[in-house]
Amino acid sequence: MLYPLKFKPQFVEKIWGGNKIQSVLGKNTEGIQKVGESWEISGLEGRVSEISNGFLAENDLNEIIEVYMTDLVGEKIFDEFGLGFPLLIKFIDAAENLSVQVHPDDALAMRRYGMNGKTEMWYVIQADEGAGLYVGFKKGVTKQDYLKAVANGTVEALLEFYPVKPGDAFFIPAGTVHAIGKGVLLTEIQQSSDITYRIFDWNRKDANGLSRELNTAEAEDALNFGTQAKFKIDYCIEKERTNSVIDCDQFKVNVMTFSQPVEKVYAKIDSFIIYICIDGKVKIQHEGSTETIQKGECVLVPSIATSLQLIPETETKLLEVHL
């Protein structure tokens, strides 16, 4: 019988990474220096997540999709994505600015690589004083302005900067120029894609004194200019309720802050459910089994589950993600 699945995190060292995945989220980062990313749930080749709990432990996510198919992901999702898992969940710690980058949309990525593009969402967990995110071009920036800034190494002057605090959420449609600023720890919910075009890296050098590769030519056709969406998400939060943060074509995200037991019923949702624990600790009871997640952990609830109980040990905040 399928049950809520936990996975082993995969830590990725980055030139801009820090120590908050260990110090704030409490993860054992296995001695890796400058951990920039913790991949929590992934079906991408080369970084497929491995189950850490129950009788399916040591199997990877793609293997169990092949076995359980619609019972794991849902009928419509399996029909569309087959054996591929449609989402990628990460924690990201930016001790320094990430590169300024853009991701292609589905049409461009399919044309170039035969795969989907990358729309994503950020939810801020912790931010140092003055820290923020770079999202979108300033009003009126044209392609010609951008090309001139690339040539002059002044791309940052064209970007909108948003100071942030815990709980702030941002929607980053494919085609949006963006960068996570130093001092921000967040969780990233995205389409399952790792296609990134780096267009500016703050004139930074690596340990060998070399600049990282830029992808300015590839990025030209991917970037959106002119009128763009409102990137910072306005949402309401009521305790002891499930509050919608975003509902887009690629994923739906809710937030829950609760200190009393909650029964969740999924009869009308033809999708897996992912819970990301932002704060606190909660027991998940399903069909006689119990799993626990705490701050910095995730769990994947299979589509076949029609209900479960969430029993917090202290006030807990969860992100609830599904298609």
Residues that are catalytic = 198
Edge-to-edge strands of the sheet including 262-265?
A: 262-265, 307-312, 281-286, 289-294
Tokens of 142: 């044209």
- Measured over the CA atoms of residue 139, residue 143, residue 148 and residue 150, the dihedral's sign is positive
Length of the chain: 323
In terms of Cα–Cα distance, which of 323, 319, 322 is closest to 91?
319
Q: Whose CA is closest to 135, among 95, 109, 164?
A: 164
Measured between alpha carbons, how far is 285 from 288 in angstroms, rounded to an integer? 7
Distances (CA, A) of 93 to 14, 68, 122, 212: 10, 34, 12, 19
